[in-house]
Amino acid sequence: MKALISNDDGITASGILAAKKAVDELCDTYVVAPETQQSGIGHALTLYEPLRVNEYTLKDGSLGYGVSGTPTDAVTIGLFEILSEHPDIMISGINTGYNLGKAELTTSGTLGAAIEAASFGIPTIAISQEVVRDDIKFENGEVEIDFDFATKMLNKIAKIVLKKGLPEGIDLLNVNIPENPINEEFEVVTLGKRMYTPIIHERLDPRGKPYYWIGGEPYDFDEPGSDGYELRKEHKTTVTPLKIDLTSDISSLKDWLK
């Protein structure tokens, strides 16, 4: 069996090796990921620049492919240039920092890569590790994070996906790993409300003109049963079933148009 592994933190990030380690015993693994930090890039596709693919020796000595673009670019090149056939599973992550709630999933590059693979019918897992320390979330390369528990949980759920595929109507899974887990179970949860209140930082450039930097403050805990609550407050490993089809209620729109 084959696994395609990508991420949005870049090919040199520690989390991608942790994902590879989780499925190395189960599959032939192919690591194809952006060369640079792409967090927040969502499902963007590069159409106006050429893309380069460079070979990297990963820290476990294996070969990886770094793509000079977005997570979606990396998955596209992985699927149609590097692999000769579709993989049995695709994994995006392990992201440094959680990916929670309705609003953030479309800006997340981790989810962008996952959605791209899932759109071809490949059973896909997006997986993210909660980190309480904000300063290391957007670091390139190696970060001081213990991914051992995340690797263990990913191995567990990947085995099920490889054996059974995903249930009918579910295109991909969004998994979040707590920093201080209380057990080794998966808690099935809904997407909660948005996780951050946007904050605009205005500063002045050396010529006195303002520039802006988007940041965010996390909301308080969400409702029980939602991903934000169960991960952040209850310290559970959460999994949300997702589908790509965003179509809403056809009949109510038809009525509304009358």
User: Which one, 80 or 138, has the nearer CB to Mn ion?
Assistant: 138
Q: Which is nearer to Mn ion, 32 or 166 (CB)?
A: 32
Name the closest residue to Mn ion (Cβ): 39
d(CA 10, CA 112): 14
Query: Considering the rule CB under 5 A, would residue 104 count as an interface residue with Mn ion?
Result: no
Structure tokens at 241: 């079933």
Instruction: Check if the beta carbon of residue 31 is closer than 8 Å to that of residue 65.
Output: yes
- Binding region for Mn ion (CB under 5 A) out of 57-65, 95-103, 157-165, 188-196: 95-103
Closest to Mn ion by CB, 27 vs 42, is 42
Interface with Mn ion by CB under 5 A: which range of 5-13, 52-60, 86-94, 142-150?
Answer: 5-13
Task: Give the nearer residue to Mn ion in terms of CB position, either 31 or 166.
Answer: 31
Closer residue to Mn ion in complex, CB, 122/143 = 143
Q: With CB under 5 A as the contact rule, which of the stretches 8-16, 22-30, 210-218, 229-237 interacts with Mn ion? A: 8-16
User: Which residues share a beta bridge with 127?
Assistant: 175
- Residue 4 β-bridge partners: 30, 90
Is 8 a binding residue for Mn ion by CB under 5 A? The answer is yes
Q: Which of 5, 6, 9, 33 binds Mn ion (CB under 5 A)?
A: 9
Specify the DSSP class assigned to residue 78. I
The amino acid present at 8, given as its one-letter code, is D
- Binding segment for Mn ion (CB under 5 A), chosen from 2-10, 161-169, 207-215, 229-237, is 2-10
CA distances from 236 to 16, 91, 118, 176 (A): 22, 20, 25, 9
Q: Is 95 in the site for Mn ion (CB under 5 A)?
A: yes
User: By three-state DSSP, how is residue 152 classified?
Assistant: helix
How many CA atoms within 13 Å lie on the side-chain side of 112? Answer: 26
Site string for Mn ion, 34-53 (x = CB under 5 A): -----x--------------
Report if residue 130 touches Mn ion, rule: CB under 5 A.
Answer: no
Residue 117 carries which DSSP code?
A: H
AA identity, residue 18: A
Range list of β-strands (E), 60-142: 63-67, 89-96, 124-129
Q: Does 222 bind Mn ion (CB under 5 A)?
A: no
- To Mn ion, the closest distance from the beta carbon of 25 in angstroms equals 26
Q: Which residues contact 163 (CB under 8 A, 6 or more apart)?
A: none
Choice between 102 and 137, CB closer to Mn ion: 137
First and final CA of the chain: distance in angstroms? 52
Q: Footprint of Mn ion on this chain (CB under 5 A)?
A: 8-9, 39, 95
